[in-house]
Amino acid sequence: MSSLSHFDVIVIGSGPGGEGAAMGLTKAGFNVAIIEREKSVGGGCTHWGTIPSKALRHAVSRFTEFNNNPLFSKNNRSFDASFDDILTHAKTVIDKQTTLRQGFYDRNQCTLIFGAAQFTDANTVTVTLEDGRTEQYSADRFVIATGSRPYHPDTVDFNHQRIYDSDSILSLHHQPRHIIIYGAGVIGCEYASIFRGLGVKTDLINTREQLLSFLDKEISDALSYHFGNSGIVIRNGESFEKVEGTDDGVIVHLESGKKMRADCLLYANGRTGNTDTLNLEVTGLKADSRGQLTINSNYQTEINHIYAVGDVIGYPSLASAAYDQGRFVAKAIAEGESTQRLIEDIPTGIYTIPEISSVGKTEQELTAAKVPYEVGRASFKHLARAQISGKDIGSLKILFHRETKEILGIHCFGERAAEIIHIGQAIMEQPGKANTIDYFVNTTFNYPTMAEAYRVAALNGLNRLF
């Protein structure tokens, strides 16, 4: 094999994990190639997941805000948009992101190969190009960063024109009047917000007893309340027996005996690692039933020269964490081991309408662990900035230790929650005694701001101590 086809490291997949690894390795002086099976870089995060769904959400929340603003409604103006219209906005964002990311590879002289990779032996991959031709490349090491895709149960016909998953929903070109969303995890809840914001009748089937049960219960209850208030019908503790596609819609038969009918179905219940097409068997690797690989603290799989990062290794399955994992694996390859780890308290950002974000422990976890905590709360409706912007739904909650005043958890519900959370996270991560709730009382905030919620919540919490 010619030296032109041999690399120090080949990274498979150009999502956040692959990009982090490739950039770290090229900067460390390695000759790196990155293989991407789609026509442009960015992976599922840029093309079907994080970026398009957040762009859709932003567009929907802005025109909902416009329609609810009395300045405009008194003149009987209203703004109307279809799912197709707001997809155009999402596409412009995707194109900008793709161009930006392509530039990273070009500037860092990282070889980009577009095609589907498959191992032919433990040190060689065959890449099938778009025109059907194949090329072979070898490397001393490999990083698998192929991401995940929506889980498809065998009993659901995803080829039916009215049955979608969270990838194919971005190709929805008819305007449904009624949608059923099966699966009330993060993706299901985000799309429920988007469709309801567009005026689509929305039924959300939750296979569990509570929405987003990993959240603090008060926040989960607030989301349920606002969903119900906006007209989303939630059915908790249900699972499907049969999904029946019809000419003009879909009928979902539930195990409880109920039947539901709508114009279309979005199936959003679980994801699977993209490892099934890599021909891993020839390397000696085997993925588990969810398509995921097991790794050690250096992101090495059972085969020492093959590493894995991102959704293919499971938890936390976040774009932000995958970037970090990519950087860590680059360090592990360059220096023999990675001394860096993901932080213990990874923030959660859920882009429903309103937004949710949290970091640290929930009240339920602290109660179970018998930690003596206290709660400080701030309602957005009492903040001048929220009143000015008309974004007064929501609250900030700080959980802190009664004796040491150490911040134990922060939970936010409302507009810009995913931004607001980082102020508290920055203090919570401070070493020693610098991570106490006193900080928020002793500092001076800009006024009026949403950040000021921390001062209000801190005073509220400290007033509870005796």
Q: Which amino acids are annotated as binding site, given as ranges?
A: 36-45, 54, 146-148, 183-190, 270, 311
Q: What would the 3-class secondary structure string for 309-330 be? A: CHHHHCCCCCHHHHHHHHHHHH
Decide: residue 128, CB within 10 A, 0-12 exposed, 13-18 middle, 19+ buried.
middle
The Cα 136–Cα 138 span in angstroms is: 7
The CA angle 383-381-81, to the nearest 5 degrees, is 110
The Cα 182–Cα 203 span in angstroms is: 8
Is the previous residue joined to 16 through a cis bond, with omega within 30 degrees of 0?
Answer: no
The Cα 240–Cα 260 span in angstroms is: 10
The owner of tokens 């959240």 is 215
CA quadruple 300, 303, 305, 306: dihedral sign = negative
CB 143 within 8 A of CB 16: no
Edge-to-edge strand ranges of the sheet holding 163-165: 163-165, 264-267, 178-182, 201-205, 233-235
The Cα 111–Cα 106 span in angstroms is: 8
Residue type at position 460:
N
The CA angle 426-430-431, to the nearest 5 degrees, is 165
Using DSSP, state whether 7 is helix, strand or coil. Answer: strand
Provide the annotated binding site for FAD. Answer: 36-45, 54, 146-148, 311
* DSSP conformation letters of 109-168: T-EEEESEEEEEETTEEEEE-TTS-EEEEEEEEEEE---EEE---TTS-TTSTTEEETTG
Provide the annotated binding site for NAD(+). Answer: 183-190, 270
Residue 93 tokens, joined: 């964002």
What is the four-CA torsion angle of 9, 12, 15, 16, rounded to 10 degrees?
A: -30
Query: What interhelical angle do 453-462 and 417-428 show, nearest 10?
Result: 50
